[in-house]
Structure 1
Amino acid sequence: MNKFLFFLLFVAVSLGYIFEIDQLIARNFNPLTSIKKIYVNNAIKTQNNIERYFNQVTTIERLQQENQELKNYKELYHASHNELNSILEMLGETNFQKDDIKFSKVLSYIDFDNFTKVWLDYKKDDDSILGIISNGFAAGIVVNDNNRAKALLNGNDKCNYSIFVGKDKAPGIIHKAKNKNHLLAKYIPIWYKIKVGDEVVTSGMDNIFYEGIKVGKVVKIKKMQDMQTIEIEPYADVLKEKYFFVYKKTIEKKKEKELLETTNK
């Protein structure tokens, strides 16, 4: 009887070894394995939460700093604006300036052989000439064509506006250049000293733009007897743009404004 029990025990152990039953039990029924999995998962979740927290803290600090900078710019703007108003009042200024900038979409080309003329999605019912701005740079002008807004972009032969060149603000007028990648500025007085690399900005003297919008930089100078011309590498890549900002400046009589405000009260 003892021999028979011993034989059965020997057979059971042999079969367990052959089919790796002990390892199967250890893999599936070992409580330490479950505890280890729970620990690893919790550790990973905790690490992710810590990283997310520190990322949020960094983002909040950056946004707070940017917000503070914007507040500073706002205060500087108001201070400059108030100072300008005070100066105008001291000078007895009779006119005031009202600026208007609107976002406008390019509808289509006007002529398929001239990409510098396009229709804009903009209401234009007067004969004023407006300025076009692209990414902060002067890009052309807008004129009225049968109550439609026709944009004449930089490089068009009828796109003209006044500019200043360099630190001395040498005056000139933008024209089309022979090089399609450049602009030409004409009628610059000969006594102004201009050098290659000087920056060109709008002058605002023609009421098309306000002063200081960047146009490009000087790449070539040609001097004549009583004037000089320059070639400009423009900053605005107008032929690739599908949207523009249209700038409008209007000058109104201060007395008329005050009378209108009094009437409306």
Structure 2
Amino acid sequence: MTGLYIFNVDQSISSNFKFINDIKKFYTEKLLIVEKTLTKYFFQAQTIENISLENQDLKKYRLLYAQKNLELTKIKDVHEELKNYKSDLKLAKVLSYVDFDDFTKVWLDVKKTDSKIEGLISENYAAGIVVNKGNQALALLNGNEKSNYAVFIGENKAPGITHGLSNSNTLLAKFIPIWINIKVGDEVITSGMDNIFFEGLKVGKVVAIKKMADMQEAKIEPFVNALEQNFFYIYSKKPVVKVIEKTTTKPLVKPVKTTKPTSKKP
């Protein structure tokens, strides 16, 4: 009964005092406008903050790009011979083993007539080298004793040369300077110092280190099992042959023929 009475009173007041309804309506509308304005403001503020952070990241990457681009330009200016080389990747299929008792040597379906050693790539990893054998491409996979290429080890970029280990799934990096610190877990990448690979192609990680009097060796667990692959990419870096066209220039003025004066006999 009390609720009904209050409702009736409110209805009676509303009918007799219309300005109260106008005030309630005005208040409600203004409240909604303020709420929408605040929501819009905070949304815009958050958006502006996000864009500002993204802009800072873009500026950072732009500066890093400019720095690296400048370094590359300086390197090219110092080493003019880099401009005279081009890189090439060629897909090759494994045909067969060379010897049935050695799985680290396979024939590829590519003809090879030069004596240049080329890099073998599988799944973005270094997988071995390619040599010429009877004008046919012969792949010496990681694990083969003669699969040698230059690498960098760890953050200090300790140089080394890979060698295969017989009856093992690991590689051995030899001739590492004893004064450069390396550790187990270091990542091994190609150095490109031998022109077989480019720098930065991943090889594997160090699992053991052997220190000697004047050098050290690192046992490497490769990232890819090259013995299980049926397709490879052959990487080569070849000099650009510049063809100089011979041009013949015609003289602008035709030569004037001269005749010897004839002397008359007296």
Asked if Structure 1 and Structure 2 have the same fold, meaning a TM-score greater than 0.5 normalized by the shorter chain, the answer is: yes
> CA–CA distance in 1 between the matches of 2:91 and 2:223?
19
Could you list the per-position Cα deviations for residues 47-79 of structure 1 after superposition, in whole angstroms to 9, with x for gaps in the alignment? xxxxxxxxxxxxxxxxxxxxxxxxxxxx99x98
Q: 2:176 aligns with which of 181, 188, 209?
A: 188
2:101 aligned to 101, 110, 113, which one? 113
Q: 1:125 to 1:79 in 2, by over 3 A?
A: farther
Partner deviation per Cα, 1:139-171 (whole Å, 9 max, x = no partner): 000000010000000001111101000011000
State the one-letter code of the partner of 2:188: V
Correspondence for 2:209 among 198, 213, 221: 221
Out of 180, 190, 199, the position equivalent to 1:202 is 190
Contact kept? 2:107, 2:139, Cα under 8 Å:
yes
Q: CA deviation at 1:121?
A: 1.0
Q: Which residue of 2 aligns with 1:124?
A: 112
Partner residue, 1:5: none
Identify which range, 167-176 or 86-95, moves more after superposition: 86-95
Which ranges in structure 2 are unaligned for 5 or more consecutive residues?
A: 1-61, 248-266
Contact 1:95–1:251 (Cα < 8 Å) also in 2 = no
Shift of 1:110: 0.6
Q: Deviations over 1:4-30 (max 9, x none)?
A: xxxxxxxxxxxxxxxxxxxxxxxxxxx
Residue 172 in structure 1 maps to residue 157 in structure 2? no
* Superposed CA offset, 1:213-232 (max 9, x none): 00000000000000000100
* 1:181 to partner: Cα distance: 1.2
Q: Residue deviations 1:173-211, cap 9 Å, x none?
A: 000125611100100000011110000000101110000
Amino acid at match of 1:249: K
Aligned ranges for residues 1-265 of structure 1 at < 5 Å?
83=70, 86-87=73-74, 90-91=77-78, 93-96=80-83, 97-178=85-166, 180-252=168-240, 257=242, 260=243
Instruction: Please report how far the alpha carbon of residue 91 of structure 1 lies from its aligned counterpart in structure 2 after TM superposition.
Output: 3.4
Q: Shift of the alpha carbon at 1:93?
A: 1.6
Moved more, 215-224 or 171-180: 171-180
- Deviations along 1:93-112, one digit per CA (max 9) or x if unpaired, are 24422000011100111100
Task: Please report the TM-score for the alignment, with normalisation by the length of structure 2.
Answer: 0.63
Letter in 2 for 1:107: L
The 1-side partners of 2:88 and 2:176 are apart by 30
Query: TM-score w.r.t. structure 1 length?
Result: 0.64
Equivalent-residue separation in structure 1 for 2:147 and 2:227 (angstroms): 14
1:93 partner amino acid: E
Structure 2 CA distance, aligned partners of 1:89 and 1:186? 30
Q: Between the two proteins, what is the percent identity of the paired residues?
A: 56
Q: What is the match of residue 19 of structure 1?
A: none
Query: Structure 1 residues 85, 123: CA separation in 2 closer, same or farther (over 3 Å shift)?
Result: farther
1:117 touches 1:153 (CA, 8 Å); kept in 2?
Answer: yes
Separation (CA, whole Å) in 1 of partners of 2:145 and 2:100: 16
Give SS of 1:156's match.
coil
1:100–1:247 contact (8 Å) kept in structure 2: yes
Report which of the two structures shows the higher radius of gyration computed on alpha carbons: 2
Following the alignment from structure 2 to structure 1, what is the Cα–Cα distance between the partners of residues 224 and 118?
17
Cross-structure match for 1:60? none
- DSSP-derived class of the 2:80 partner: coil
Amino acid at match of 1:135: E
Structure 1: any 5+ residue segments left out of the alignment?
Answer: 1-74
How far off is 1:90 after superposition?
Answer: 4.1
- Kindly indicate whether the alpha-carbon contact (under 8 Å) linking 2:144 and 2:166 is maintained by their aligned counterparts in 1: no
Count of residue pairs the alignment pairs up: 184
- Let me know the Cα RMSD of the aligned residues: 2.6
User: In structure 1, what is the Cα distance between the partners aligned to 2:126 and 2:135?
Assistant: 23
Counterpart amino acid of residue 112 in structure 2: K
